[in-house]
Chains A and B, each alone.
Chain A
């Protein structure tokens, strides 16, 4: 079974509007972390935001916020006031607890966001 599922291969949004990128995850570990990364066309991976499984509040970083719904196992990324520079591929990732012994991030297949002027 997929551990990280991103069901939107591509999304369009108008400049200055908000957009939500979906991510659901699957784990039986009570201790895990969820990450979002941005990959522009230049190829590098840029860390955006982190949410720990025990965090009581949703994470926010500037225009990025993570809508964490633990019971639903979802960790959607919300980008407010979209900018043209937000056009990129976005990856959701999960890091499971210490019993994995591997310290790996498991990535989703990504969502390509295009911001239109």
Chain B
């Protein structure tokens, strides 16, 4: 089954304790991205990757790191989490690496709800 898998689904941690949220897709998609969702703000992009070893900042990258060593995996790393990073996080992937016309929606994972105390 084609899917984007995020782990864990729920995570409660304390300020300053490094954590990693994993994301894996089995659709051979070039493009992968991380979003955070906060009430009243919709989804905002954190980082994205156009292909292996190619990553770039989105709208809200501060406090996050990513890596794309292989095509299927795109982990999100919080080196020193803070309470303002409490949010619902989504990983997403897409076949197309470039914007423009074309029917290529993002495929989302099921989300990771992170609480930083």
| A interface residues, Cβ below 8 angstroms from B | 4, 31, 33, 35, 37, 42-47, 50, 52-54, 91, 93, 95-98, 100-105, 107-110
CB nearest neighbor in A for B99? A103
Within the complex, which residue of B41, B58, B106, B113 is in contact with A109, where a contact is CB–CB below 8 Å? B41
Q: Which residues of B contact A105 (CB under 8 A)?
A: 43, 45, 106
In Å, the complex CA distance between A101 and B45 comes to 14
- Indicate whether B103 reaches chain A with its CB closer than 8 angstroms: yes
Complex A-B: 15 CB contacts under 8 Å? A42-B110, A43-B111, A43-B113, A45-B106, A46-B108, A47-B105, A50-B105, A54-B101, A91-B42, A93-B43, A97-B100, A98-B99, A102-B56, A103-B96, A104-B45
Evaluate contact between A44 and B111: CB separation under 8 angstroms: yes
Evaluate contact between B99 and A95: CB separation under 8 angstroms: yes
CB nearest neighbor in A for B33? A104
- Indicate whether B74 reaches chain A with its CB closer than 8 angstroms: no
Known: A47-B106, A50-B105. A31 touches B100 (CB 8 A): yes
Q: How far is the CB of B25 from chain A (nearest CB, A)?
A: 14
Q: Which residues of B contact A52 (CB under 8 A)?
A: 101-103
Evaluate contact between A91 and B43: CB separation under 8 angstroms: yes
Q: Which residues of A contact B48 (CB under 8 A)?
A: 102-104
Evaluate contact between B105 and A104: CB separation under 8 angstroms: no
Can you name 17 extra interface pairs (CB under 8 A) apart from A33-B101, A43-B88, A101-B99? A4-B42, A37-B108, A44-B111, A45-B106, A46-B108, A47-B107, A52-B101, A53-B101, A91-B43, A95-B99, A98-B99, A100-B99, A103-B99, A104-B33, A105-B43, A107-B43, A109-B40
